Amino acid sequence: MNFLSKEKEIYNVIFVFFVARYYNRLEKYPNCNFHHSHMRRKLEFAYFSFQIYYKYYHVIRKKYSIIENKKERKY
Protein backbone atom coordinates (compact mmCIF):
# COMPACT_ATOMS: atom_id res chain seq x y z
CA MET A 1 0.00 0.00 0.00
CA ASN A 2 2.87 2.31 0.81
CA PHE A 3 4.38 1.62 -2.61
CA LEU A 4 1.10 2.58 -4.29
CA SER A 5 0.93 5.90 -2.42
CA LYS A 6 4.54 6.65 -3.45
CA GLU A 7 3.67 5.91 -7.07
CA LYS A 8 0.60 8.14 -6.80
CA GLU A 9 2.76 10.99 -5.53
CA ILE A 10 5.24 10.57 -8.36
CA TYR A 11 2.54 10.49 -11.02
CA ASN A 12 0.75 13.49 -9.50
CA VAL A 13 3.99 15.46 -9.56
CA ILE A 14 4.58 14.53 -13.21
CA PHE A 15 1.01 15.41 -14.18
CA VAL A 16 1.10 18.76 -12.37
CA PHE A 17 4.42 19.51 -14.06
CA PHE A 18 2.88 18.88 -17.48
CA VAL A 19 -0.14 21.05 -16.67
CA ALA A 20 2.12 23.84 -15.45
CA ARG A 21 4.19 23.64 -18.63
CA TYR A 22 1.07 23.70 -20.76
CA TYR A 23 -0.30 26.83 -19.09
CA ASN A 24 3.10 28.48 -19.21
CA ARG A 25 3.20 27.94 -22.98
CA LEU A 26 -0.36 29.28 -23.28
CA GLU A 27 0.77 32.52 -21.65
CA LYS A 28 3.89 32.74 -23.82
CA TYR A 29 2.24 32.04 -27.17
CA PRO A 30 -1.43 33.08 -27.00
CA ASN A 31 -1.94 32.89 -30.79
CA CYS A 32 -0.19 29.63 -31.66
CA ASN A 33 -3.05 27.16 -32.12
CA PHE A 34 -0.91 24.28 -33.39
CA HIS A 35 1.22 24.33 -30.28
CA HIS A 36 -1.80 24.30 -28.01
CA SER A 37 -3.46 21.40 -29.80
CA HIS A 38 -0.17 19.46 -29.65
CA MET A 39 0.28 20.07 -25.92
CA ARG A 40 -3.38 19.35 -25.28
CA ARG A 41 -3.07 16.01 -27.03
CA LYS A 42 0.02 15.22 -24.99
CA LEU A 43 -1.80 16.11 -21.79
CA GLU A 44 -4.87 14.09 -22.70
CA PHE A 45 -2.70 11.07 -23.48
CA ALA A 46 -0.82 11.46 -20.19
CA TYR A 47 -4.07 11.69 -18.24
CA PHE A 48 -5.61 8.75 -20.09
CA SER A 49 -2.62 6.47 -19.48
CA PHE A 50 -2.57 7.71 -15.88
CA GLN A 51 -6.22 6.65 -15.37
CA ILE A 52 -5.60 3.23 -16.90
CA TYR A 53 -2.59 2.79 -14.63
CA TYR A 54 -4.74 3.62 -11.58
CA LYS A 55 -7.58 1.35 -12.65
CA TYR A 56 -5.55 -1.76 -13.43
CA TYR A 57 -2.63 -1.34 -11.04
CA HIS A 58 -3.96 -3.80 -8.44
CA VAL A 59 -4.91 -6.32 -11.15
CA ILE A 60 -1.44 -6.25 -12.67
CA ARG A 61 0.17 -6.42 -9.23
CA LYS A 62 -1.95 -9.45 -8.28
CA LYS A 63 -1.17 -11.21 -11.56
CA TYR A 64 2.57 -10.73 -11.18
CA SER A 65 2.54 -11.73 -7.53
CA ILE A 66 0.78 -14.99 -8.51
CA ILE A 67 3.42 -15.63 -11.19
CA GLU A 68 6.19 -14.93 -8.66
CA ASN A 69 4.61 -17.33 -6.16
CA LYS A 70 4.40 -20.04 -8.81
CA LYS A 71 8.07 -19.53 -9.67
CA GLU A 72 9.07 -19.66 -6.03
CA ARG A 73 7.23 -22.92 -5.33
CA LYS A 74 9.30 -25.83 -6.51
CA TYR A 75 7.94 -29.07 -5.13
pLDDT tens-place string over residues 21-31: 766 666 666 66
The closest alpha carbon to 1, from 69, 58, 66, belongs to: 58
Please give the residue range of the domain that contains residue 18.
Answer: 2-72
Number of domains in the chain: 1
Q: State pLDDT tens for residues 34-65.
A: 556 776 777 777 777 777 776 776 676 666 66
Give yes or no for a contact between 50 and 15, defined as CB atoms under 8 angstroms apart.
yes
pLDDT value at residue 44: 74
0.85 cut: is pTM over it? no
Close Cβ partners of 50 (under 8 Å, ≥ 6 residues apart): 11, 15
pLDDT value at residue 74: 54
pLDDT value at residue 51: 73
pLDDT value at residue 32: 62
